[in-house]
Amino acid sequence: AQSVTQLGSHVSVSEGALVLLRCNYSSSVPPYLFWYVQYPNQGLQLLLKYTSAATLVKGINGFEAEFKKSETSFHLTKPSAHMSDAAEYFCAAISNDYKLSFGAGTTVTVRA
């Protein structure tokens, strides 16, 4: 089974600054990895996913993530934060079965 760890439960950034959200997974088999965003009182929306085709994955809203096998990491970045990026972000993984294993989530606040 997968284990996903998100470092930092809260991240605060200034508008226009870099957003960096950290995610590490544990597995001996490279998993399929996902980042989801959750706005208040809404369901989870897929930002991007890694399926072993390319290590740098581009998603919606200017986000991207890089798969690093040597570090078992899949960190999410966005070069310039916008106020609308304020939300909760979840990293998730699937390995040999169909169950998504989620991290605990990181709440992003954006300062004007």
Partner 1 sequence: GAGVSQSPRYKVAKRGQDVALRCDPISGHVSLFWYQQALGQGPEFLTYFQNEAQLDKSGLPSDRFFAERPEGSVSTLKIQRTQQEDSAVYLCASSYLPGATDTQYFGPGTRLTVL
State the residues that interact with partner 1 by CB under 8 A. Answer: 4, 32, 34, 36, 41-46, 49, 51, 90, 92, 94, 97-105
Minimum CB separation of residue 80 from partner 1 in Å reads 26
Beta-sheet pairing, 64-68 with 73-78: antiparallel
Residue 56, C-beta contacts closer than 8 angstroms, at least 6 positions apart: 64, 65, 66, 67
Q: Which is nearer to partner 1, 41 or 70 (CB)?
A: 41
Q: Which is nearer to partner 1, 17 or 32 (CB)?
A: 32
Q: In this structure, what token pair is assigned to residue 26?
A: 């544990």
Percent helix, percent strand, percent coil in the chain, to nearest 5:
10, 55, 35
Q: Please name the helix (run of DSSP H) or strand (run of DSSP E) that holds residue 29, with its range, or none.
A: none
Q: Which is nearer to partner 1, 86 or 94 (CB)?
A: 94
Q: Which is nearer to partner 1, 14 or 51 (CB)?
A: 51
Minimum CB separation of residue 112 from partner 1 in Å reads 26
Minimum CB separation of residue 78 from partner 1 in Å reads 20
The closest alpha carbon to 49, from 63, 59, 62, belongs to 59
Minimum CB separation of residue 57 from partner 1 in Å reads 13
